[in-house]
C-alpha cells in the first residue's frame, strides 16, 4: 500500500495531504510524499482556546470514565497497528518491526492509563491539631502542549496524551515538521475513539502543524499549563526558559549520550546483543541509542572483534523489507553531521570502522549509511557531544572507579547500563556513587524501556519523566487540604487573640 492508501485506512482526509506548504519526504527514497497544510499563528490561538474550553468540561468527568476514552483509543490502535506502523516506517525510515513496535508502545500506555484512571491516589496526613484531618488531593491541570521529535513520531504523543486525558486535561500536539502524517493519522484514530465514547467536548485533542513559529505559539500561550517537549538539548534551552518566564510547567525529554560498561566478568554474548541493538537500532536515531562503550582492557579486543563481525552482517537498506536491520538516516543534514563527527573523531585519535554512505547508486536522494565503530584513545570532546547517528565510540578502562567517572563525565544523563556478573560492581553502578542517569540497567542495554517505569533523564536530558510509575503527577496539580471537624479554631504558631 502507498502512503495515500495507508492514510485513507487510518481516516485522514486526503485533502490534508495536498496543496499545502509543508513538504513531506520519505527518507526511504528521498521522494516527496505529501504537501501538508500548515496552521497560522491565529489558528494556533483559536485551537488552544478551544482546548482550554474542552478542559473546563473534561475536568468534571470522573477519572474512570475518562479512562474509558483511552480504552477505546487502545482498541483503535490494536485494530490499525500494522497500518500505522507501516506509515511510521515510511515517514521516519524505521524498519517495519520498529514501526510496529512503536505502535505497540502506544497500546501499552493506553492499557497503563486505563488502570491509572482508577488509581489517582492522594494521601491522608496526620494533623498536629485535635479534631482536624489533613489530606492531599490531585486535580486536572489544564491544556497540555506536546512537542514531539521525528524519531518517535507517535509513541511520545501517546505517552503524554494517554496520561493527560485520564488526568482530566486536554492536549494540543505540535509534531515534528518532518513527520506530520503520522500525527494526522493519530488524531483521526483519536477522533474515532471520541465518536464511540460520545459526548466528548470539542477540542479535547488537537494537532498543530507547522515549524518553529507554531511551536513558539504553543510554548508562549498562557493557557497551556504544561509543555512536554521532546527533542534536542538546544531546543530545551529555548523551551524551558520561555515556559518558566510565564510560570508554566515544562517536561523536557532531551539529548542522551548513553554508555554501556562491560566488565571482565561480563557475558560477552549478551553484551554484544545489547550493544548491537542499542547502537544501530533506528539507525542510531534514538535518544536511548548506545553511543559509548566503556570496556575493560582485558576483554576489549575480543568484544570489539565480535561487534565488527556483527556490524558487517547487519543489512542496511529499505526498511520495509523484512530482512533489513538498519534503515536510512532521516535526511542529508543527519548524514553530514555524522560525517563531520567521524572526521573530528579521527583527528582526535580515533580509528574508524564503517560510517560510509550506502546505496547511493540505487537511492541517490536517500541517506543510508554503514553504522560506525570508532575506537578512541579516551573520552575526547567529540565523544561528549551527542551525534544523532549510528556511531559507537569504544574506550577502554582498567579500574572500575575510572569507568564510572568516564561514564558520568558527559553533559547528558538519560540511559545507562553495565554488563557484569560481579554483584559489587552491579550494586555500585546502581548506587548514589554510580550512574548519574535517569535509567540505569544491569545486564540489559540502554534501549527498550518498559511502559511501567518512569522514562527520562538528568542533567542536559532535562529532568522530565514520562510514562509509568508516578509520572502522572506532572499532568495534575496538587492541593493540600485541612478539614476542621471540631468546634475549636486553634491558630498557627500558638498565636492567641482576645480571651483565647
Residues with active-site annotation: 253, 287
CA distances from 119 to 112, 158, 212, 261, 470 (A): 11, 19, 37, 38, 10
SS3 at position 469: coil
Residues 6+ apart with CB under 8 A from 258: 278, 288, 289, 290, 291, 292, 412, 414, 415, 416, 417, 437, 446
* Total residue count of the chain as it appears in this document: 500
Cell numbers for 56, please give them: 473546563
Place of cell 515556559: 243
Q: Are 374 and 352 in contact (CB under 8 A)?
A: yes
At 393 the three-state DSSP class reads strand
Quick check: 177 and 22 in contact, CB under 8 A? yes
Cα 303 to Cα 275, 299, 342, 355, distances in angstroms: 10, 6, 21, 19
Q: How many CA atoms lie within 13 A of 127 on its CB side?
A: 18
Distances from the Cα of 467 to the Cαs of 55, 116, 212, 231, in angstroms? Answer: 21, 11, 26, 16
Query: Measured between alpha carbons, how far is 201 from 472 in angstroms, rounded to an integer?
Result: 22
Helix (H, G, I), strand (E, B) or coil at 292: strand
Distances (CA, A) of 217 to 43, 53, 379, 420: 10, 18, 40, 48
Q: How remote is the C-alpha of 103 from its chain's centroid? A: 13
Find how far residue 239's CA is from the centre of its chain: 16
- Within a 13 Å sphere around the CA of 310, how many CA atoms are in the beta-carbon half? 21
Distance CA 90, CA 107 (A): 20
Give the chain's radius of gyration (CA, Å).
Answer: 25
Exposure of 45 by Cβ count < 10 A (0-12 exposed, 13-18 middle, 19+ buried)?
middle
The whole-angstrom separation of Cα 86 and Cα 88 is 5
Return d(Cα 371, Cα 286) in angstroms, integer. 14
User: In this structure, are residues 378 and 395 in contact, taking their beta carbons and an 8 Å threshold?
Assistant: yes
Enter the DSSP assignment of 59.
Answer: T
Amino acid at each position: 500500500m502507498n502512503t495515500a492508501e495507508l492514510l485513507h485506512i487510518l481516516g485522514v482526509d486526503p485533502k490534508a495531504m495536498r496543496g499545502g506548504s509543508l513538504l513531506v519526504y520519505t527518507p526511504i527514497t528521498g521522494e516527496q510524499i505529501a504537501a501538508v497544510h500548515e496552521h497560522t499563528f491565529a489558528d494556533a490561538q483559536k485551537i488552544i482556546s478551544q482546548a482550554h474550553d474542552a478542559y473546563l468540561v473534561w475536568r468534571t468527568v470522573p477519572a474512570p470514565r475518562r479512562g474509558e476514552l483511552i480504552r477505546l483509543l487502545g482498541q483503535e490502535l490494536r485494530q490499525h497497528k500494522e497500518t500505522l506502523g507501516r506509515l511510521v516506517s515510511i515517514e521516519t525510515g524505521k524498519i517495519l518491526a520498529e514501526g510496529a513496535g512503536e505502535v505497540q508502545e502506544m497500546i501499552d500506555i493506553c492499557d497503563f492509563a486505563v488502570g491509572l484512571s482508577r488509581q489517582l491516589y492522594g494521601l491522608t496526613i496526620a494533623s498536629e491539631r485535635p479534631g482536624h484531618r489533613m489530606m492531599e488531593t490531585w486535580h486536572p491541570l489544564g491544556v497540555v502542549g506536546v512537542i514531539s521529535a521525528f524519531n518517535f513520531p507517535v509513541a511520545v504523543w501517546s505517552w503524554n496524551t494517554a496520561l493527560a486525558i485520564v488526568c482530566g486535561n486536554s492536549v494540543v500536539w505540535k509534531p515534528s515538521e518532518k513527520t506530520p502524517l503520522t500525527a494526522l493519522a493519530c488524531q483521526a484514530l483519536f477522533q474515532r475513539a471520541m465518536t464511540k465514547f460520545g459526548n466528548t467536548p470539542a477540542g479535547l485533542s488537537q494537532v498543530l502543524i507547522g515549524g518553529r513559529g507554531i511551536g513558539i505559539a504553543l510554548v508562549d500561550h498562557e493557557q497551556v499549563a504544561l509543555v512536554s517537549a521532546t527533542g534536542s538539548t538546544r531546543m530545551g534551552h529555548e523551551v524551558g526558559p520561555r515556559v518558566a518566564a510565564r510560570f508554566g510547567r515544562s517536561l523536557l525529554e532531551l539529548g542522551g549520550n548513553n554508555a554501556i560498561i562491560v566488565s571482565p566478568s561480563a557475558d560477552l554474548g549478551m553484551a554484544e546483543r545489547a550493544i548491537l541493538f542499542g547502537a544501530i537500532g533506528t539507525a542510531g536515531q534514538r535518544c536511548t541509542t548506545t553511543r559509548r562503550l566503556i570496556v575493560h582492557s582485558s576483554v576489549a579486543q575480543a568484544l570489539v572483534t565480535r561487534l565488527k563481525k556483527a556490524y558487517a552482517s547487519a543489512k542496511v537498506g529499505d526498511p520495509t523489507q523484512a530482512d533489513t536491520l538498519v534503515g536510512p538516516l532521516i535526511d542529508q543534514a543527519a548524514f553530514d553531521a555524522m560525517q563531520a563527527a567521524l572526521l573530528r573523531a579521527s583527528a582526535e585519535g580515533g580509528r574508524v570502522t564503517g560510517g560510509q554512505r550506502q546505496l547511493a547508486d540505487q537511492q541517490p536522494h536517500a541517506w543510508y549509511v554503514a553504522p560506525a565503530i570508532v575506537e578512541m584513545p579516551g573520552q575526547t570532546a567529540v565523544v561528549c557531544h551527542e551525534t544523532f547517528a549510528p556511531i559507537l565510540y569504544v574506550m577502554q578502562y582498567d579500574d572500575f572507579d575510572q569507568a564510572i567517572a568516564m561514564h558520568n563525565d558527559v553533559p547528558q544523563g538519560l540511559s545507562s547500563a553495565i554488563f557484569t556478573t560481579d554483584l559489587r560492581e552491579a550494586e555500585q553502578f546502581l548506587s548514589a556513587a554510580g550512574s548519574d542517569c535517569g535509567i540505569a540497567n544491569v545486564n540489559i542495554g540502554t534501549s527498550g524501556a518498559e511502559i511501567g517505569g518512569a522514562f527520562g533523564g538528568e542533567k542536559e536530558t532535562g529532568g522530565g519523566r514520562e510514562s509509568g510509575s508516578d509520572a502522572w503527577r506532572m499532568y495534575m496539580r496538587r492541593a493540600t487540604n485541612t478539614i476542621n471537624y471540631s468546634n475549636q479554631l486553634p491558630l498557627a504558631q500558638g498565636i492567641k487573640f482576645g480571651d483565647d
